Amino acid sequence: MKLFAAIDIGSYEVEMKIFQITSGKGIKEIDCVCHRMELGKDVYRDGRIGVEMTDELCRVLNDFVRIMKGYRVDDWRVCATSAVREAGNQLVFLDRVKRHTGLEVEVLSNASQRFMDYKSIASRENEFNRIIQKGTAIVDVGGGSIQISLFDKDRLVASQNMKIGNLRLRERMMNEGVSLKHYETLLTEVVKNEFLSYKKLYLKDRVISNLIVVGDHIGDAVHKNVMTRADFLNFYDDMIYRSDEDAAGRCEVPEDVISVLRPSLVVYRCFLEAADVENIWMPGLHLTDGMAYEYAQQNQLLKLVHDFDEDILAAARNAAKRYQCSKSHIKVCEDLAVGIFDKIKKSQGFDDRDRLLLRIAVILHGCGKFISLSNAGESAYHIIMAMDIIGLSEEEKEIVANVVKYNTVPLEGYDKIGSSRMTRENYLTIAKLTAILGVVNSLDRSHKQKTKEAKQILHENELVIQLYSDEDLSLEKKEFAKKAEFFEEVFSIRPVLRQKKMM
């Protein structure tokens, strides 16, 4: 059994949950402490977190530390989201928090934050797996932005972020001095404008039967966790024009909750108008639940049923389709890449995460041609870095983007590549995955899928790649010879290509 404390420093509240985690009984919440404070109000207005807000947070976190000591927790994790992520004085803020509380705060990227929220939902395995059998959308509303993730046949196929979070929207309306009478009209115009492009790019003719709502207090306000479309619209009409005081009394929630719930209701209403949603599920889960689930997963305290890696790959394939990459070419390259990776994995110290990053790079390696045929690598780098690949950290996304970029041009030195996130270890990972991608891409240089079958055989410092094909592989052999040199330089393994005729 483990006692785990999860602390979420959000845009409009700070929450700590204490969980009891056992391999037999799973995850059980045993305490929850929440403090309302709007860090995002400073950030979305001034771009910085003020001194008074920082001092208040430190007092709250020190109270949390005392509670953790009282429970004698085995482990803890503190995560901050969009307010801290967007703060211009982020480093000073984090240093001050650490000095005054002793807590190391991890600032999550948007993709990491939303993936953890998604894991919190998936922790309700029976309900979640039943719901996503039909077309499903998760609308994750935060203070700074919303994330919309689409499922098709139980796989995550697309996830997109929009900076129309409830606190950001509320502050925008307040800054413009909007009266309650016109509040809903203006909010709807702002949100619908964002949804217009989203609907054209992602919804199209997709059938969305179920909506899963994450990240705010609507479940507390309606006192249930499932609503039909009609129930929600009735609730919306009843609440939207009420004053904060009147709405809070009617819903039996604090008045300040209403001020951020109202923009969320507009977001949900606009999504319902864009998709033919039948039911809305409000599981009442937050980032802290996802943190506990991830902790249990990493410490092998839970047996996972849902394959999250397959969700990441499905989303990558959907992106590749959007950029008109060749599905058949990707299939051949991915099979070859996985075959080579598995043969040299042990000797090169690779892990399963490296395997996943390689597969994503293979899937997306042709996306740059959508922008530029002459500068495809550079274009692909910028496309991938601009993507919200839910489930990948910013470091991992940068690795993938560089692997794709340097598939077409020579790899530059460590001092010339990447950003401040680029470590020597990450650079070596890029070099190794680039070497594999270069070789497998050369083996289908014609994009004609001439190879019917492949086999890899590792003999000490030689990797024999045996291709079964009756076709002329002259072009592939020529390109392979160019890529084999870099492969040998990186791995100290000489790749050898052999062709066998089909019997």
pLDDT at 216: 66
The answer to whether 13 and 37 are in contact (CB under 8 A) is yes
Task: Compute the distance between CA of residue 435 and CA of residue 410 in angstroms, rounded to an integer.
Answer: 10
Question: Tens digits of per-residue pLDDT, 308-351?
Answer: 888 899 889 989 998 999 999 999 999 999 999 999 999 899 99
Average the pLDDT over 422-445 and give the result: 94
CB burial of residue 125 (10 Å; 0-12, 13-18, 19+): middle
Question: Tens digits of per-residue pLDDT, 22-48?
Answer: 887 888 999 999 999 989 888 988 899
Would you state the structure tokens that stand for residue 149, as one six-digit string? 């993730």
pLDDT at 251: 87
Task: Compute the distance between CA of residue 4 and CA of residue 1 in angstroms, rounded to an integer.
Answer: 10
Gyration radius from the chain CA atoms: 25
pLDDT at 151: 84
Residue 86: band (very low, low, confident or very high) from pLDDT cuts 50, 70, 90 = very high
For the chain, the first-to-last Cα distance in angstroms comes to: 58
The answer to whether 495 and 484 are in contact (CB under 8 A) is yes
Question: Tens digits of per-residue pLDDT, 158-195?
Answer: 888 888 888 888 877 765 566 666 778 888 888 888 88
CB burial of residue 245 (10 Å; 0-12, 13-18, 19+): exposed
pLDDT at 124: 74
Global pTM? 0.81
Q: Which of 2, 258, 19, 222 is nearest to 120 (CA)?
A: 19
Average the pLDDT over 111-120 and give the result: 84
Q: Which of 127-136, 211-220, 427-436 is predicted most confidently?
A: 427-436
Task: Compute the distance between CA of residue 336 and CA of residue 464 in angstroms, rounded to an integer.
Answer: 12
Question: Tens digits of per-residue pLDDT, 233-263?
Answer: 999 998 888 888 898 898 888 888 888 888 8
Average the pLDDT over 391-411 and give the result: 93
Three-class SS of 436-463: HHHHHHHCCCCCCCCCCEEEEEEECCEE
pLDDT at 452 over 90: no
Using CA atoms, how far residue 72 sits from 65, 76, 204, 291, 294, in Å, is: 10, 11, 51, 18, 20
pLDDT at 427: 94
| H helix or E strand, kind and range, residue 500 | strand 494-500
pLDDT at 64 over 80: yes
Residue 125: band (very low, low, confident or very high) from pLDDT cuts 50, 70, 90 = low
Output the CA torsion 45→48→53→58 (10° steps).
150
Task: Compute the distance between CA of residue 105 and CA of residue 9 in angstroms, rounded to an integer.
Answer: 9
